A and B are shown apart, each in its own frame.
Chain A
Amino acid sequence: MGRKVSLISTVLGAGLLALSTYGTAMADSTLKSIAPPANHPLSEIISGYEFRASETQDLQDDDFENPGYIWVDKGEDLWSEVDGAAGKSCASCHEDASESMKTAGAEFPKWSEKLQKPINLEQKINDCRTENMKADKWKWESEQLLSMTSFVRSQSRGEPVNVQVDGPMAPFFEKGKDLYYQRVGQLDLACSNCHEDNYGNQIRSDLLSQGQTNGFPTYRLKWQKVGSTHRRFKGCMKNVRATPYKVGSDEFVNLELYLGYRGKGLPIESPAVRN
């Protein structure tokens, strides 16, 4: 038998399964979406919020109920806490975060002239600590770094995601894109297989989203705490039985940059609440 069994015949043979839901992303989506810019890989850009149950959405929408605010509040305390040999706090230079950090959260990863590569918000916070405050770096996923990242990014809530992808950022953007489409692990899956080709489809008990990052740091019910974008990346890579890159690695920063572009224009929701 020489013929290649075509995907189409499989679909037609499937019978019981509704054709509209199989193997394609939601075309007739009723979820709230925004229009992508020209030549964008997605035909509609949808926040992970839209894929969650109304109970989870309600939890996010109410600042008093949203458990992510425990970290935001802690970050607010840290903002004006003097630390390091320079005797400074964040507020010493940046003063009122609601003013100075109004758009910052929507613009990372951002170009670092000093390092000649993009750095993300966690890295920028630590850079400020070591360079300007003469304080020690905070460990990735530590309570302090999660809190400060959550606080800073929540100042930009509602601002549209707007990462720079041209100029010096271009080669790093391309590397991030390559990672997005690279199949990895024993399960041999790329980000795109689930989050581009199959968002809106159920994968066992999980409803696949577009894997957008506009809500990070995100309070995950599964984690029972807020977590960073890079922690989430690691989890996905472990799920497909791959060796994850390290948190704070160039690979993950490049991927974060590329995902920023995939979510261009989505409002920052940090701290979001997700499953």
Chain B
Amino acid sequence: MKGFDVLKLALVATGLAAVFISGASAAETYNAPNIVENTIPKPLAKDAGNAENGRKIVINRKQGNCLACHAISSLDNQPFHGEVGPSLDGVAERYSDAEMRLIVVDPKQVFDGTIMPAFYKKEGLVRVNKKFKDKTILSAQQIEDVIAFLKAQ
């Protein structure tokens, strides 16, 4: 096999891997959350949230990237916490799980006109890039993982 072919194969493989990673949330079916009085009382996924996974999602620039806008003291080892939104320290004392769940899923239902993206929403978006079309930013399980992490802040 010529060097060029090997390179091409490597590129294709990398491309496929990228598709599988970024498409993680698309693979599962979307469960429309049941909103009750500005909350989502029921967890979106079968499995309980995993706070350690949640921590990674909160940091990851391609996933939750919560640090882009919010400061979180327990993640002080990470550089560059944003200052667009409020600190998430003690967020669980301010909101119940059910309130936090709606704020992460679709914050515009709670904070009118907020800059914060909806992390589990597919409808009502404009000119979504085809790479992300009909996909939510996070999966149902990832939402639960983030809630589990936020509860410990």
A residues with a Cβ closer than 8 A to B are: 1-5, 7, 9-11, 13-17, 21-23, 182-189, 193-194, 197-198, 201-205, 208, 237-238, 241-243
Contacts and interface: CB of A to CB of B under 8 A. Distances in A.
Interface in B127-151: 127-132, 135, 137
Nearest to B90: A15
B83 A17 contact: yes
A13 B94 contact: yes
The DSSP consensus for interface residues of chain B is loop
A201 B82 contact: yes
A20 to B, nearest CB: 10
B35 to A, nearest CB: 12
Contacts of A15: 87, 89-90
Interface stretch (B9-17, B44-52, B68-76): B68-76
Contacts of B128: 184-186, 241-243
Given A15-B87, A242-B127, A204 B80 contact: yes
A187 B117 contact: yes
B84 A203 contact: yes
B82 A186 contact: no
Contact of B99 (A5, A7, A193): A5
26 contacts: A10-B86, A13-B93, A14-B87, A17-B71, A17-B86, A17-B87, A23-B115, A184-B127, A185-B126, A185-B128, A186-B129, A187-B117, A187-B137, A188-B126, A197-B115, A198-B115, A201-B82, A201-B84, A203-B84, A204-B65, A204-B68, A204-B80, A204-B81, A237-B127, A243-B128, A243-B129
B129 A242 contact: yes
Task: Enumerate the 4 nearest inter-chain pairs by beta-carbon distance, A residue then B residue, closest first.
Answer: A14-B86, A205-B80, A186-B132, A17-B87
A186 B130 contact: no
Given A10-B111, A203-B68, A1 B39 contact: yes
Given A1-B38, A16-B89, A189 B117 contact: yes
A2 B82 CA distance: 31
B67 to A, nearest CB: 6
A202 to B, nearest CB: 5
B7 interface: no
A198 B94 contact: no
A21 to B, nearest CB: 5
A198 B115 CA distance: 9
Contacts of A198: 84, 115
A3 B95 CA distance: 13
A80 B80 CA distance: 48
Contact of A5 (B38, B69, B82, B135): B38
A204 B82 contact: yes
A5 B131 contact: no
Nearest to B68: A204
